[in-house]
Amino acid sequence: MSRSRCLPRIVSTSLAVFVLASPALTSAQPIDMGTLGGNVCLASSTNDAGAAIGTCRNPEGDLVTAYWAPTTGPVPLAALAADDPCDAADINNASVIVGNCELGAAGEWFPVVWTASIPGGAPTQLKAIANHAKAIAWQINQAGVVAGSSVAADGSATAVIWMAGSRTPTRLPELGLLPPLIPSTTECVISDMDNTDQPVVAGICGLRDGGTVAVRWSPGLFGYAATVLPRVPGGSNCVVAAINSSHRVAGTCETDDGDVVAVRWESDGTSVTYLDYLQAAGVSRQQLVAVDMNEAGIVLGNYLTDDGLARSFVWVPSGIPDQEEALDIGTLGGPWIKAVDIADNGSVVGTAQSSSGLSRAFVWTPTTGLQGLGTLGGFASQSIALSDDGSKLIGNSQIASGHVHAFMVGGPNRNILHPKSNTALAAANVVVKATELRNLVKDKIDALNPDAKEFVTGVIEKAKALRPKTGERPNLQELSRSGDEVAQKHRALSEDAKESLKSNFPKVHAMF
């Protein structure tokens, strides 16, 4: 059957309708979101109001979980126990935050919920299934339901959700005859859920005879029931990326010839259509992977061209597999682009390589196309996520000093203040810290055996030689070549030298 060549225009027109009817980014100017007194802040999620979560270094140099209110700089979130680390995973429009905190001498992590409207309030710990050792959470919906896993002592995981206001998990059933007595699956993992107080949930389950299947769990009179979503004809493994309020599910499946295609399952749980073609790239495509879907059912994904270039697409499914087409969103002039999120207004964000070889955050809309967002003064930036309505974008960027700060596009100027300090005192502190660091490194180098010492000093000298002059950009080809040389020299080290390196510079050793 011949393919319609007008579909890309239909795709753009359909997307434009949603853009015109929804909030949009008010500007494309990244705004620094400030720090906690350290030199690094990384944002990970935001909501429609512009509140955000992430991780920052405090003045002591420790990484702590951070929360940004819509108009202010970051504040630290409390932990379950003093000096124990936490990690914030997701935030909803009510600024309820879900994450995980370490607790106890064994260093186990447990899911927690913070209520940002209670400044400095301690998090609420969520429970695991009875007799399980721990649990982990990674998503919260707009109704306050949390998704995650409960983990048994043997390491096996069970998909669970915590209803809003409840610390006790609800187990999602496995597949098979009378599960969990005779399950046909090894374990299941939640990928996404809708925004109701008793959500429909989508995820994947590993089969005992091998492979994975996409699953949708729906609430009923007697609790949740699992439905296996069909594979593509003749295909095998499937994974899930997203579900929307219509209970459509987006994901990726393997075909009978070993390729992978983006798929969308319809609300009935039995109909499936899949994308195996892109107008912009002709037949030059492979590995089409769905990464997200919005409320309109528009699917976002990434793929590879036959010559190995990474590209991104948006897809408005028609429901007819052999007539499905999608729109390549373009590039910033470099060989790769990676989209990560699509909002309900059709906006897309991600990171791409520019024509100068540097990574740049981008935003794409059907009306304006692809737009690079620049940086906060450094060389590179990346987009992390959009708010659900698409009015806010968060990302991370190098600043002029090379450190990384979180930024927002579409949010207010947070009026981040940098307190004045005594210049002489600040300079003295810098000198003291630099001297301490130099002595520490020198002592560690002196403790190495001769071969390891020669290796480390060689790496230091090479790094100094590669440092660009003021106003110049790094020579990426020279960096790549030098990296290969260092790796070869490391492989040639004796086992004694590698062990000496591991003992004194464990992070350097771990790089290899």
User: Residue 144: helix, strand or coil by DSSP?
Assistant: coil
DSSP state of 154: T
Pair (15, 59) in one structural domain: yes
Q: How far apart are CA 444 and CA 498, in angstroms?
A: 14
Does residue 386 sit in the same domain as residue 441? no
Residue 159, domain member (yes or no):
yes
If asked whether residues 356 and 431 sit together in one domain, one would say: no
Helix (H, G, I), strand (E, B) or coil at 22: coil
Angle at 389 between CA 330 and CA 317, to 5 degrees: 55
- Burial of 302 from C-beta contacts in 10 A (0-12 / 13-18 / 19+): buried
Nearest 5°: CA angle at 310, between 255 and 307?
Answer: 80
Domain of 502 in residue numbering reads as 423-510
Of 383, 409, 435, at which residue does a domain stop?
409
Whether a cis peptide bond, with omega within 30° of 0, leads into 180 is yes
C-beta separation of 64 from 83 below 8 A: no
> Is there a single domain that holds both residue 150 and residue 296?
yes
- CB neighbours of 490 closer than 8 A, spacing ≥ 6? 455, 498, 512
Please indicate, yes or no, whether residues 245 and 298 belong to a single structural domain of this protein.
yes
Q: Is residue 28 part of a domain?
A: yes
The enclosing domain of 252 has a CATH number of: 2.140.10.30
Number of structural domains found in the chain = 2
Residue 1 located in a structural domain: no
Tokens of residue 388, six digits: 């659900």
288 and 196 share one domain: yes
Instruction: Kindly state whether residue 116 falls inside one of the protein's structural domains.
Output: yes
Q: Are residues 68 and 193 located together in one domain of the fold?
A: yes
Please give the model's pTM, rounded to 2 decimal places.
0.76
Q: Which two tokens stand for residue 156?
A: 């096996």
Tens of pLDDT along the chain (512 residues)?
333 333 333 344 344 444 444 566 656 789 999 999 999 999 999 999 999 999 999 999 999 999 999 999 999 999 998 888 999 999 999 999 999 999 887 788 999 999 987 767 899 999 999 999 999 999 999 999 999 999 999 999 999 999 999 999 999 998 875 555 556 767 899 999 999 999 999 999 998 878 899 999 999 998 999 999 999 988 889 999 999 999 999 999 999 888 899 999 999 999 999 998 775 444 456 789 999 999 999 999 999 887 888 999 999 998 888 888 889 999 999 999 999 999 999 999 999 999 999 999 999 999 999 999 999 999 999 999 999 999 999 999 999 999 999 999 998 776 564 433 333 333 434 444 444 445 556 666 777 788 877 877 877 776 667 665 555 655 656 666 766 777 778 788 788 777 777 777 665 565 56
Whole-angstrom distance, CA of residue 26 vs CA of residue 409? 8
356 and 434: one domain?
no
User: Are 200 and 278 found together in one domain?
Assistant: yes
Tell me which of 374, 409, 444 is where a domain ends. Answer: 409
Q: Is 34 contained in some domain? A: yes
One domain for residues 298 and 434:
no
Task: State whether the Cα torsion 74-77-83-84 is positive or negative.
Answer: negative
Q: Which residues of 67-105 are buried (b: 16+ CB within 10 A; e: fewer)?
A: bbbbeebbeebbbbeeeebbbbbbbbebbbbbbbbbbee
User: Secondary structure of 28-93 in the HEC alphabet?
Assistant: CCCEECCCCCCCCEEEEEECCCCCEEEEEECCCCCEEEEEECCCCCEEECCCCCCCCCEEEEEECC
What own/partner pairs with CB < 8 Å and gap ≥ 24 does 123-130 have? 123/77, 123/78, 123/79, 123/80, 123/86, 123/99, 124/167, 125/80, 125/101, 125/167, 126/162, 126/167, 126/169, 127/167, 127/168, 127/169, 128/169, 129/158, 129/160, 129/169, 129/171
The answer to the question of residue 417 being in a domain is no
Specify whether the CB–CB gap between 230 and 265 falls below 8 A. Answer: yes
Question: Does a structural domain hold residue 57?
Answer: yes
| Pair 399, 465 in one domain | no
**How far is residue 353's CA from residue 347's CA, in Å, rounded to a whole number?**
19
- H or E stretch covering 150: strand 146-151
Which of 409, 444, 477 is where one domain is finished? 409
Q: Which region, left, alpha or beta, applies to residue 108 given φ > 0 means left and ψ of -120 to 50 means alpha? A: beta
Whether residue 351 is found in the same domain as residue 489: no
In a domain, 418, yes or no: no
450-466 and 495-504 helices, crossing angle to 10°:
60
